[in-house]
A and B are shown apart, each in its own frame.
Chain A
Amino acid sequence: MEEVNKQDTPAQKSLDKMKHVEFVQSLDSKVSRQSYEYWISEHLRMNGLYWGLTALATMDKLDALPSSEVIAFVMSCWNENTGGFGAFPQHDAHILSTLSALQILILYDRLESLGDERKNKVKNFILGLQLPNGAFQGDSFGEVDTRFVYTAIQSLALLGELSKEVIDRATDFILKCTNFDGAFGRAPGAESHAAQVFTSLATLAIANNLHLIDQSKLGSWLSERQVLPSGGLNGRPEKLPDVCYSWWVLSSLALIDKIHWINSEYLESFILSCQDLESGGFSDRSGNQPDVFHTCFAITGLSLIQGKKHGLKAIDPVYCLPSEISANIKKWPVDYS
């Protein structure tokens, strides 16, 4: 095995922050607007903006995008009829874009600019999506997924509007998604998947209910996600590694205090090997097309293992926001009494 490592683990490089900042800036520019891809990704704009801003904030470069324009865009995506945010002006509200919108506002410490009335409507939009079994649907069309439970619960946490009733029911649902391997699927009966582990675990963390699961068993499953020769993490057994799992798996390990159950040096090399040193940004695997989603989760993942070394801000594994920002979020149950 030692042989394999020497041959195939790429030499450790440094993080080219300047390039990544430029990459995020280039996503909405005169040049990008000339490409068809820019226009057909409007349905992801709010999420994309959150990913880009979180990457920037982690690199301590939040000011690389114009804050007033960003906030104006977020506000223009609010949907008065439903009370939620869409991904783009005139697009329908969805729980995914609603969380991204709230996260962006809190990144700028501008949550208050929503105003009480709008805030209340956002809250009611989210509460209206919870189903009798405790799960949340993404919008009124009924898709159910542990992803939506997390996005809903985090949104309520950001608004400071958690309640015992909502939390207990969400916890019940999450626990029903546990599998024999100790990990979680998107719904009861569904196969374990690292991204669903993150959303399930982070929900339990917000609900102060992490003690309800078998952390040792789950940690073992999570640590098996690291594979050779790349040292990267995969999302399920017998699948290829992908840099976005640096976030899903690492944040999960962080939540149960087991980051040391994988090899950080190998992972660091893998993450750095996914950088695109020409255009900036990260791709799922070395040599692929970079995008803002993988850029965000490569950088936040890197911050969890080697933040100081690469000059990155500490990131909160529960909220995927810089820790200095998440510190101000009302925590359940201590801040609610």
Chain B
Amino acid sequence: MLHEVKKQRLTEEARLNKLKKDKAKIKTYRALTEEVLKGKIERQYSKHNLDLTTKLIDLNPEFYTIWNYRREIFSKLFEDGVLDKKETLEKDLGFSMEQLKRFPKCYWIWNHRVWCLLQLQSINEANWMYEFGIASKLLEMDSRNFHGWYYRRFVVENMENNMKIRHKDDSQQQIYQYLSINIKEYQYTTAKISKNISNFSAWHNRSKLIPKIYDNLKLLSDTTAFPSIRHIFQSPYHILMHELNYIKTGIYMDPDDTSVWLYLHWLLLDPFFVEYLKPESSDGLSSYMDILKSQLQVVMEVNALEKEESSTGEDNIWCLKSILIINDVLEKETGDNSILNTKLEILEKLIRLDPLRKGRYLDYRNGAAKLYSL
């Protein structure tokens, strides 16, 4: 499973050189593997065996069986009191960190780190705040690494659980703490997005955090808490307005970036917003229809600007896709038949400008597939 490894073209001299070096490396590796596996089969659980697994994993962190053996040794040595659980596991977090720096996409290393932390958690010694810092650092190395994001969510979940236990007799305090964790996460996505607007991992996480924060703020009796974000989260309507405003610059800046558009579609189509907006709001807020129409204006304006700037004078594909979806919703919601022609015109353009997905547009045109679903 090689990714991003340039093809090697060795000269005859280099090839022979590698052959010689490999011969020695193979000898060491095979001897060590044999020794470690022998220990495993004979159920030897000593510090010496542990050191051997360190050596072997250092040579090949993908060797999952050796990670397993390492954990078996730990469990036995903890049980017998030979090793101190806390000290040993904390040291192993350091070891797995060293490996992660070399192989940030290796599942087994991430998995071992999780195991160490859950073991520490079982004796109430997991330092989740420290881990939280680690998760941030790892995402600084590669802001799209999905292991990194997954790990971050794992850490956050454990912080939440711990906090629940700590405040088990005070449900308001539980909600407060839960919110402060998730609001920080929301702000973290803002920071990541402002560094790189194409970071869809951050947009994705944002879409998961918003409903959580909203639901929990409603449960909090202290209405003065979190003043900096309170106004945004008053209602799905307020959130929607805030987020639409937030992404506007992004859409103007880089209309070819798919991340922002996907997020816009979430904002305009997700039941979390739509179900709140649908019953005509009586309190002077704009209705779902108004919001769709004003977004349509924004996207059409961006498209017009793009058209002007483009050397071919053509429409922007992502603008067209969004105009199409918004029109489709408007047509269904208002029953206005005249929108159909607009849709067909856009589809004609897309078939020409985005030929890769022609088959999809044809299916939309002949009604074989629906454009959106609420």
Contacts and interface: CB of A to CB of B under 8 A. Distances in A.
Contacts, number: 165
A34 B4 contact: no
Interface in A204-249: 214, 216-217, 219-220, 223-224, 226, 228, 231, 236-239, 242
Contacts of A94: 64
Nearest to B263: A180
Contacts of B18: 35
Contact of A263 (B30, B65, B67, B358): B358
B356 A141 contact: no
Contacts of B64: 43, 87, 91-92, 94
A289 B8 contact: yes
A86 interface: yes
Contacts of A41: 62
Interface string B37-65: 10011000000000000000001101111
Nearest to B361: A261
A199 interface: no
Contact of B2 (A40, A216, A223, A288): A288
Interface SS of chain A: helix, strand, loop or mixed?
A: loop
B353 to A, nearest CB: 7
Interface in A43-77: 43-44
Contacts of A1: 353, 355
A132 B122 CA distance: 20
B7 A289 contact: yes
Contact of A262 (B6, B23, B356): B356
Contacts of B65: 43, 86, 90-92
Given A180-B266, A190-B146, A262-B359, A141 B71 contact: yes
B219 interface: no
A216 to B, nearest CB: 5
A284 interface: yes
Contacts of B6: 287-289
Interface string B114-146: 110010000000000000000000000000101
Given A34-B23, A181-B262, A261-B357, A289 B2 contact: yes
A180 to B, nearest CB: 5
> How many interface residues does chain A have, given as a range?
35 or more
Interface in B1-36: 1-8, 18-19, 21-23, 25-26, 29-30, 33
Interface in B223-281: 257-259, 262, 265-266, 270
A323 interface: no
B285 interface: no
Contact of B7 (A91, A180, A287): A287
Given A34-B19, A141-B71, A214 B373 contact: yes
B200 A238 contact: yes
A190 B258 contact: no
A311 interface: no
B153 A263 contact: no
A291 B1 contact: yes
Interface stretch (B160-168, B201-209, B332-340): B201-209
A39 B56 CA distance: 12
A192 B62 CA distance: 25
Contacts of B5: 283, 288-289
B321 to A, nearest CB: 9
Interface of B: 1-8, 18-19, 21-23, 25-26, 29-30, 33, 37, 40-41, 59-60, 62-65, 67-68, 71, 107, 111, 114-115, 118, 144, 146, 149-150, 153, 198-201, 204-205, 207-208, 257-259, 262, 265-266, 270, 353, 355-360, 363, 369-373
Among all A-B residue pairs, the 9 with the closest Cβ atoms: A260-B359, A261-B360, A36-B22, A238-B198, A289-B5, A91-B65, A237-B258, A263-B356, A293-B1
12 contacts: A92-B68, A143-B107, A180-B207, A180-B270, A189-B208, A190-B146, A190-B150, A239-B144, A258-B359, A262-B359, A285-B4, A291-B2
Interface of A: 1, 34-36, 39-44, 86-87, 90-92, 94, 139, 141-143, 179-181, 186-187, 189-193, 214, 216-217, 219-220, 223-224, 226, 228, 231, 236-239, 242, 258, 260-263, 266, 276, 283-285, 287-291, 293-294
Given A91-B65, A258-B360, A285-B4, 6 more contacts: A40-B63, A189-B153, A191-B204, A216-B370, A223-B360, A236-B144
